[in-house]
Amino acid sequence: MGRSCLSIILAAGEGTRMKSARTKVLHEIAGLPMVRHVARAALATGSDRVALVVGRDGEAVAASVRADAPQAAAFKQTERLGTGHAVLAAREAIAEGFDDILVLFGDTPLIRPQTLKRARAALIAGAELCVVGFRPKDPTGYGRLIEQAGELVAIREEKDASDAERAIDFCNAGVMAFRGESALEMLQAIGNANAKGEYYLTDLVEIARKAGRSVKAIEAEAYEVAGVDNREKLAAVEADWQAARRAKAMRDGATLQDPASVFFAFDTEIEPDVTIEPSVVFGPGVTIASGAVIHAFCHIEGTSIGPGVQVGPFARLRPGTRLEDGSKVGNFCEVKNARVSTGAKVNHLTYIGDASIGAQTNIGAGTITCNYDGALKHETIIGAGSFIGSNTALVAPVRVGDGAYVGTGSVITEDVPDGALAIARERQVTKEGRGRQIIERNAAAKAAKKPGTA
């Protein structure tokens, strides 16, 4: 856009209705704190700077947002005297001089960058101020937007509104854009002579109008300006986010057999021609390449899934997992911090942690990498084209070479060279006729027991 922009995110809310030790804006949607969703939307509109207005847990909120906006500044609002007062807490940032200023709420996480861009576009077109409005199913409690001849003339808070004004269904979402040049002067003109005795940011509308400036309202979708102040609303916003993400995944070429039971994270990346069966949950940090199939009932986080990979059903993939082309992690397997190379198979009831498995290697059912000695984690390295027999325990640190064969039921504590056979279990003992003797002895003992004497 070529214009400088400061985004002020109001995040001083106590969030007491969340009934939580954690401050409200740090509660997550799709695995990302709400306030980070807002910061990311601000950055996506080309915002140069982010200023946070914080209360309780200000440091934690700032640290969270700095993952996206490393230069984000935090300003403490010690007393909650209204949204106008909150914005002025960031006075120092405003005074640096920006072309555009966006005000966002940290508890309204689904705001879309394109809506913010439309608000900024209204400033470019000559408006002093542009307010984002929406039409909620129930307008009770919201400030009403009063328009005349294409101009926004006032925002009336519920408590200050007349009956006729309360009948208006176009409401203030709270988000607004205004010109940086005159911002401080206008913000300082806000008073608190209203029903709540608060400094209302919304008074900017009338202040700008009195100065003869143009004020516009744009309409956003109701879902994107939904605020969260309790756990039910948190769940409702999560549901909206998930519905939108599922729809996008399908538009982009993924097959979701039961979309409603698939949960994505904010950063899940899915290529076309991926199939996801029912009841799959993605935590943060997952990428899935074309042709991969995620069978039912999987929990996957921090994992890269290569082309044509098969996962599950009932697989748990934890951070640091890399499944390369055509590899397979089957039912009731857990993989953590491990590379499963091209064409390798980990098919049944297995734990692979802190390990590397070479190409085309087959890991038998019930294999466990014993990576933890009670104090430290150790690595297991298995070469390419090897075979690990079922129910093997690989006691790390340990290496198995290329083309090696490990006998079923082994406890491997020493390295196995390339091409070697390793068997680490008791030899079988077979006693001719002894089996039948035991069966007959036990049957006789059972027959000797009289009914009712058990």
**Number of residues that make up the chain:** 454
Segment lying near ligand UD1 (by CB under 6 A), choices 63-71, 195-203, 208-216, 258-266: 195-203
Which residue carries 């997952």 as its tokens?
Answer: 286
- Rounded Cα distance, 131 and 103, in Å: 10
Candidates 7, 47, 77, 392: give the one binding ligand UD1 (CB under 6 A). Answer: 77
φ/ψ of residue 191, rounded to 5: -110, -175
| Angle 31-37-43 from CA coordinates, rounded to 5° | 140
Candidates 23, 47, 64, 83: give the one binding ligand UD1 (CB under 6 A). Answer: 83
Instruction: Check residue 131 for interaction with ligand UD1 (CB under 6 A).
Output: no
Segment lying near ligand UD1 (by CB under 6 A), choices 197-205, 281-289, 331-339, 424-432: 197-205
| Angle 224-230-231 from CA coordinates, rounded to 5° | 90
58 versus 174: smaller Cβ distance to ligand UD1: 174
Measured from the CB of residue 30, what is the shortest distance to ligand UD1 in angstroms?
19
Residue type, 18: M
Instruction: Check residue 119 for interaction with ligand UD1 (CB under 6 A).
Output: no
Task: Work out whether strand 151-156 and strand 144-148 pair parallel, antiparallel, or are unpaired.
Answer: antiparallel
Find all residues with CB under 8 Å of 64, minimum gap 6, and list them.
Answer: 26, 33, 35, 36
Find all residues with CB under 8 Å of 206, minimum gap 6, and list them.
Answer: 153, 154
6 versus 10: smaller Cβ distance to ligand UD1: 10
- Rounded Cα distance, 232 and 115, in Å: 25
- Letters for 166-185 (x = contact with ligand UD1 by CB under 6 A, - = none) are -----xxxx-----------
Kindly state the helix (H) or strand (E) to which residue 126 belongs, with its residue range. Answer: none
Residue nearest to ligand UD1 (CB): 143
- Letters for 97-116 (x = contact with ligand UD1 by CB under 6 A, - = none) are --------xxx---------
Measured from the CB of residue 121, what is the shortest distance to ligand UD1 in angstroms?
22
Measured from the CB of residue 110, what is the shortest distance to ligand UD1 in angstroms?
13
Segment lying near ligand UD1 (by CB under 6 A), choices 194-202, 207-215, 258-266, 425-433: 194-202
12 versus 208: smaller Cβ distance to ligand UD1: 12
3-class DSSP state of 40 = helix
129 versus 171: smaller Cβ distance to ligand UD1: 171
85 labelled catalytic: no
- Rounded Cα distance, 47 and 207, in Å: 25
Residue type, 178: F
Among all residues, which ones are annotated catalytic?
Answer: 348
Interaction site with ligand UD1 (CB under 6 A): 10, 12-13, 53, 77, 80-83, 85-86, 105-107, 142-143, 155, 157, 171-174, 200-202, 227
